[in-house]
Amino acid sequence: MTKSESAEYRQLHETVLERLGSDIVAGVVAPGTRISADDVVNQFSVSRTVVREVVRVLESLGLLEVRRRVGITVLGEEHWNSLDPSVIRWKLAGPERFDQLAKLSELRYGIEPLAARLAAERATPDQCGALTGAVIGLASTARAADSTAYLAHDSDFHRTLLIASGNPLLAAMAPIVVEVLEGRTRHALMPYVAEDEVVHLHGVVASSIQSRDAEAAETAMRAIVTESAMAVSRMRDEN
């Protein structure tokens, strides 16, 4: 396979994966539905190899079940790997977007304040510097909080925070939190101008970690997550 052929294959694979995955998660394709590989081949004009690979990925995420003599069956949400960033992304793109954000806020409330407390005890000088740099970036782009530039700094901050906790299980949650942040920007759920208090609180977390004040870091991080949940709730009421 040439480089161009490989790139085309990957593009076709991603296209079919995103479409089929999002349709299942959004409920367009209901649980219990039988999917024919031949139908997918014809619908997307792709090879059976592409379809097999897509089915394999969706099966690994718990969205599909493949059984001999039965074929491909769509599974209900209770079977999904709901913490996988792809499933989160598809859920945020669907009609239950606000419900998903509320549940993710509850998850963040449980992990990020703890990560801040631990980071105050364990963060390296480089990680402290990265947190401070992200806060500076947030402040410099605060008047365009719905932009990719602001998102990049916000993602850097929360990713670094979870890694700086020194707990690999918390660090493994970083892609999930980043997907939440990206989803809010992607679906126009971020204000155009960031609240001054939000940027300030990020600064408090960074400075508290720098000074090894675990309680202050945890309290400020809890306030950030709470404010984020309230902002989403307000947007939900407006829609």
Interval 197-227: pLDDT, tens: 999 999 999 999 999 999 999 999 999 999 9
Instruction: Please provide the average confidence, as pLDDT, over all residues in the chain.
Output: 94
Instruction: Identify the DSSP state of 144.
Output: G
Closest to 19 (Cα-Cα) out of 29, 10, 7: 29
Rounded CA-CA distance 239/233 in Å is 10
Residues 138 and 150: beta-carbon distance below 8 Å? yes
Which residue is it, tokens 């364990």? 122
Per-residue pLDDT, averaged over 97-110, amounts to 94
In this structure, how many other beta carbons lie within 10 angstroms of the beta carbon of residue 32? Answer: 9
Domains and CATH numbers, the chain: 3-79 (1.10.10.10), 85-238 (1.20.120.530)
Cross-strand bridge partners of residue 174 = none
Q: Which residues contact 218 (CB under 8 A, 6 or more apart)?
A: 113, 114, 116, 117, 120
Rounded CA-CA distance 64/66 in Å is 7
Rounded CA-CA distance 16/14 in Å is 6
pLDDT computed for residue 1 by the predictor: 64
Per-residue pLDDT, averaged over 167-179, amounts to 97
Q: Which residues contact 120 (CB under 8 A, 6 or more apart)?
A: 208, 209, 211, 212, 213, 214, 216, 217, 218
**21-45 per-position pLDDT tens digit:** 999 999 999 999 999 999 999 999 9
- Whole-model pTM? 0.90
